[in-house]
Amino acid sequence: MLKRRECLSGLLGAVCMNRLTAAIRKDRLDEAAALIAKNTDSGDVWAASLYVAQNDFVYQRAFGRAQDPDAVFLLASITKPMTVTGVMVLVDRGQLSLSDPVQKHIPEFTGGDRGLVTVKHLLTHSSGLPDQLKENVALRQRQAPLKDFVAGTCRTPLLFKPGTQVKYQSMGTLLAAEIAQRVTRRPFRDFLRDEVFLPAGMTRTSLGLGGRRIPETMQSQIESAPGMYGGGTATRDWNWNSLYWRDLGAPWGGAHSTASDVARLLRLFLKPDGKVLKRETAASMLANQTPGLNEPWGIGWMIKPGTFGRHCSNRTFGHYGATGTVAWADPRTQLICVLLTTKPADVSRSHLLGPVSDLVSAGVA
């Protein structure tokens, strides 16, 4: 089969394909691209970037205000598996154990059942911590540093006994990053850059702005976002597009990246090579770590069947982001799909993120 790299441009944006395999149907990918283009051409979605790969086949397109497939987007919660990967690097090195009580590393995390919370609970959404603090808006309004979020998390009541249920919680990810920062005695954003992003070839990824100016990134459509992220003068100093939020480096949602770089993160787990994590560690992160509880979770990854494309296998893993992003990979078909948009997931998941994932997953012959 002829191997060639083809780059095209047109009304639907830039296209890059490396044609080495016929295992995926290009017409399905073109349908997915047409759906995205329909949304960007109408102005409903300002910008989007699609990256699909299977083995050596790559399909890349940019849409709307994203003039390049490698446009930079605010990822929101796709940051979580990045953060967790960094924590697991320390587990691999023996500097941290999943069974460690959180109190061992954060002594001020005391009271009630806090002594029962382990590092593993933080990484599997089973710690009992809330998704966001009650004082979350107040903290953002005064542009509080991350240490104030950590202090608030050490005081906030647990919602349930650790290990008894799964409930999505950003603050657990925050404490996991705080533990890594204390163990390494390095700023967590620097640790992630040097120990995860650069070894994985993710040169366009950063926790926080990474030295960029905000206009160099795609702007989130905050007027379409739920309450605390919305636009207007009341939130302009702390919403998704503010300098404060973009450079806070929130380990649960503050990473910036491109679609191709996010695909490189997925490849760390789809085809682990030992450069960042041990192979057995990468595999364990895709296994159900919450058996018998209300929802299956891997370590940092969503693994519940049916979460992504309708035609994905039950081995598929990935994550969504509230800013309008989704990334997943299917080990059965070796299919990778990353869609980054500027339209918040609360309003784009049903008519864009989900349907595109359905079309992509249906394209495997």
| Position 235 in a domain | yes
Tokens 């987007």 label which residue? 73
CATH number of the domain that residue 216 is part of: 3.40.710.10
| Position 41 in a domain | no
pLDDT average, residue stretch 70-93: 98
pLDDT average, residue stretch 221-236: 68
Distance CA 331, CA 98 (A): 25
Question: What's the number of domains the chain is made of?
Answer: 1
Locate all alpha helices (DSSP H) within 93-145, ordered by sequence: 102-105, 119-123, 136-141
State what percent of residues in the chain have pLDDT above 90: 87
pLDDT average, residue stretch 170-175: 98
- 3-class DSSP assignment, residue 52: strand
pLDDT average, residue stretch 346-355: 95
Instruction: State the pLDDT at residue 235.
Output: 79
| Position 270 in a domain | yes
**Of 337, 346, 348, 362, the residue nearest 61 (C-alpha):** 337
Give the model confidence (pLDDT) of 29-44 as tens digits: 999 999 999 999 999 9
Distance CA 138, CA 116 (A): 29
| Position 189 in a domain | yes
State what percent of residues in the chain have pLDDT above 70: 91
- 3-class DSSP assignment, residue 67: coil
| Position 275 in a domain | yes
- 3-class DSSP assignment, residue 23: coil
Q: pTM for the full model?
A: 0.93
| Position 123 in a domain | yes
| Position 111 in a domain | yes
- 3-class DSSP assignment, residue 199: coil
Tokens matching residue 236: 């302009």
Least confident of 62-76, 130-144, 200-214, 223-237: 223-237
Instruction: State the pLDDT at residue 229.
Output: 60
| Position 14 in a domain | no
Whether pLDDT at 315 is above 90 = yes
Tokens matching residue 344: 């918040």
Range of the domain at 128: 73-304
Tokens matching residue 208: 């926080």
Distance CA 339, CA 155 (A): 37
